[in-house]
Amino acid sequence: MNVSSFFKNIIVPIATGLAIAAFLLAFVFQFVKVDGTSMYPNLQNNERVLVWKLGKVREDSVIVFNAYGVDDNNPNVQKNTKYVKRVIGMPGDTIEYKNNGDLYVNGKYQPQNYISKEQRTSGTLTLLLPPAKGITLGTGKSFKVPKDSYFVLGDNRSNSNDSRYYGFVPKDKVIGVAKAPFWSKNYKLINSYEPAN
């Protein structure tokens, strides 16, 4: 095989494949590893999820975002630190979280069937740190999610560092929507959770 044939038959296909892979990873999807138990039991520590960068963020979507510049409370956050959390409030939403664990978004009850009653009540309302500015939880209190931002919580509320402590997540920090593999026990609660009517 001469040099021209080698280049044409070997190098060009490899380079093309690498370019396509780089494009997909940059603009379409990537894999990330869940670090910690903040999304337990729906996502496990060290579980891998696909981040769909073209996915539309909706209420109850599980998203992956860059925590650098968002979580200023955690000195371990680096430029490439990613967090996995569930969207509770969309831009412009009014959130009210009552003492009994009932969540209302724009006056409409949200069942939160993806977590236990304990996580909905004491898990969410018993804070381990002072709340972030603009976040008020409890009966008779409400707050509005700013434009171009999200209010996010971990499913394991009693052990989750989330918007309650560091505030709202700007849209431009969102990398994409998390998708768990079909063999994951709770993949439906991650990929396509639909609240019961």
Q: Where are the domains of the chain?
A: 1-30, 34-191
pLDDT, residue 196, reads: 47
State the residue for tokens 């729906």. 42
Given the residues 38, 61, 160, 184, the one annotated as active site: 38
Task: Round to whole Å and give the CA distance between 21 and 135.
Answer: 41
Task: Round to whole Å and give the CA distance between 42 and 153.
Answer: 13
Bridge partners of residue 177, in order along the sequence: 52, 63
pLDDT, residue 197, reads: 44
User: Smallest Cα–Cα separation from 42: which of 157, 173, 165?
Assistant: 157
38 catalytic? Reply is yes
| CB distance 55 to 177 below 8 Å | yes
Task: Round to whole Å and give the CA distance between 197 and 46.
Answer: 33
85 catalytic? Reply is yes
Domain topology for 34-191 = Umud Fragment, subunit A (2.10.109)
pTM of the model: 0.84
For every one of its 197 residues, what pLDDT tens digit does the chain have, with 9 covering 90 and above? 666 665 566 665 666 565 555 544 555 558 889 899 999 999 999 999 989 898 899 999 999 999 999 999 999 999 999 999 999 999 999 999 999 999 999 999 999 999 999 999 999 999 988 999 999 999 999 999 999 999 999 999 999 999 999 999 999 999 999 987 666 777 676 776 555 44
Given the residues 82, 85, 98, 173, the one annotated as active site: 85
Task: Round to whole Å and give the CA distance between 150 and 81.
Answer: 18
